[in-house]
Structure 1
Amino acid sequence: MPSKPAPIKKAANKEPAKKEEKAAEPEPAPEAAPAEAAPAEAPAEGEAAPAEGEAAPAEAAPAEAPAAEEPKPPTPPPADAAAPAPEETPAAAAEAPADAAAPAVEETPAAAAEAPADAAAAPATEEAAPAADGEAPAADAEAAEAAEAAPEEPKAPTPPPPPPKEPTSAPVDLFIEDKNDTSVTIIWSQPETIGHTGLDGYTIEIAKDGTEDWKAVNEEPQKSCRYVIKNLTTGDRLKIRVVAVNAGGRSGPCALPEAVLVKEVADRPKVRMPRFLRQRYVANVGAKINLTIPFTGKPKPVVSWTKDGQPLDTKRVNIRSTDRDSIVFIRAAERDDSGVFEMCVKVDDFEDKAQFILQIVELPGAPASLKIVDTWGFNVALEWTPPKDNGNTEITGYSIQKADKKTGDWFTVLEHYHRLNATISDLIMGNTYNFRAFSENKCGISESAIVAKQEAKILKTGIDYKPPEYKERDSSEAPKFTTSLNDRATTVGYSTKLLCSVRGSPKPKVQWMKNQMIIGDDPKYRQICVQGICSLEIRKPGNFDGGVYSCKAKNDHGEATVSCKLEVKQPAVADADKK
């Protein structure tokens, strides 16, 4: 039985076949022989031909014949090739033996049929005829060995290749900032990884929901991370994505998670009244009024204004409204501009209102009247009435001034006074005075004053001083000792003093006694009584000065006595003195 054809290695042997083709290109071949010539010559070439012949079935030749109808011109051989070598397919190169004759054998049509049908199959069949003589393959093999043995010329070191240009990572945090009937505003954040090539910009792409027909909406890369996609059709549902672009190409896309419906976002209108307008807004006459009141709502609300329930006078008040706020402007305010301003914003069937009070004020007028009610001594009593014109705000006080008729100079005696009457004191006797009053409010003091029609004259009158009568207090009191005498002991020859204190009214008379005997003007004793403190000094008492001493106080209301015992001791004598 015929042996099984050897398996043809296709992918693994393509590279060696290409190397042999570069080493030696085949000679220009004559016109291709008939398709039947290839099988006839195959048995005559070497030992490998039968193996190839057995592997080819009988019908292989007709299958290969159409590929060899029209030969292609061979590629010219390189300058360093010694001789052309027959072309081999990858399958034939893998099956050829190691001797020099085997490489010269061209693959049979059967082997060519087994190989992939590429563009080189037809020339390989046509070049089989020149390889039949056997001399050219031998010369080609020697030339190939000589070329391999020859040393290669040294080459200059190749510089390192530049780093590859890589695109950035995809943008992040893409979401919708705003949208309306014809546009969608998107914002995003830059990629986390940009690389050394930098970032040229972003491309914004859209596609209708349900399709993948992405179209860029910006011609040039967008530098900013915010873009407004305009000229859209209301009601379209679009997919949106953003791509970062640099020298390395496009990054991955960052797309919205869901398609966007192009439609106005309907928000209920809301007036955002500033805090300083929530209370009464006060301005002076002639001041410029410029108030901005923001509001929200979609689609754009319709704004309207009224003053005290009536339409605004556009000649006096200018209103400028935008998509987000409304401005009230008055070039020079007047008192007639005061009132309650109400703002109304309306979207479809929804509306919101807010109001503020504008008050234009100026200096007040003078008090309506001033008169002198009474004059007495050095004092004058005044009364006045509030002004007719308060300057469109409340009166905060009054100022009162006086002027001496002799000099005519005005001096302020009361300032920021809240009552409507006052008493002016400390006036000079014999002088005549005039008085006037001013009004005050938030803007200041009135420009004019009201002067009292009457004059106040302080008369010179005699003064009789009558001292007040006081009832004398009865302080009569019988004598009473507040401090009594204490018993004492002393030594012969050492002076001592007895003390006590007494009170009474009238001042009582004090007497000292010894053993119930009155001590007179004896120089041995010294008696002192000052401010009710009574003392008896006994100068160098002897053995007979001891006894009971008494102090007696007496006045018209009675008498009192205190006593004490005085002991006089002998001095201690040493034993030597006794002997």
Structure 2
Amino acid sequence: MCKASLEEWHRVNDQICIDTKYTAKGLVPGELYKFRVSAVNGSGQGEASVTVAAVQALDRLASPEIDIDASFKQTHIVKNGGTVTLQIAFRGKPAPLATWSKVDGELPVMADVNTTDNSSTLTIEGCTRYEAGKYTLSLENNCGRKSVTFTVKVLDTPGPPGAISFKDVTRGALTMMWDAPTTDGGSRIQHYIVDKREASRLAWQEVSTKCSRQIIRVTGLDIGVPYLFRVIAVNQYGQGEPHEMTEPVTATEEPCTTQESKCC
């Protein structure tokens, strides 16, 4: 063979080739080559047959593929403070660009990514409930795109409950509601703790220690006194962070003109 631009021929096969096909290796991608073949018998080497046109050496491109074996786990469960490692092997030509992302959020600050031409690993140390969620590895090259999603569950106490709202605010009583925590700590919410305090005081008073629903009727409030409330979710790992009101609510002597008010 020879490079088309040089016309300097050299032998390709180091050993005798008895077949009518041969794989030439070590070619430069994008370079143009010419090939010629001569048959040999007992009387010697015959006349060469030369390729009519030059042939360009091109990479065999392949879209990204994910290699999954028996050890693959889609869901990873880790205790609070532990480390989770998400690893995936892949192939493709050219080598795919690997990108990690977290569904509905950003990658944790403590996340470490290590990527080679055929694998990528995401390691998260010191996991808390906030590192729980879905993580996606996206692979992309000139031929296509592929992705795989992992679920990480962190066994921890729940996050704070959501927004608190009120209805049926009457003389000395009101109905209080709240949203469930966005993170349950990898365990079902067992119940809620509800506390109250007068806005002018610092000490919290117990309303309910085992409220099984996200609604409670609070009675016995002093008329005209502004109150603050807080709600704490509880699962098998303990009490989570409280959600506390920032603006007080008052159980008026006369019913409220608005049916419902919300406090963040």
TM superposition score category, shorter chain reference: 0.3 to 0.5
Structure with larger Rg: 1
Structure with bigger helix share is 1
Give the TM-score of the pair, scaled to structure 1: 0.22
Q: Which has the higher contact order (CA 8 A, sep 6+)?
A: 2
Structure with bigger strand share is 2
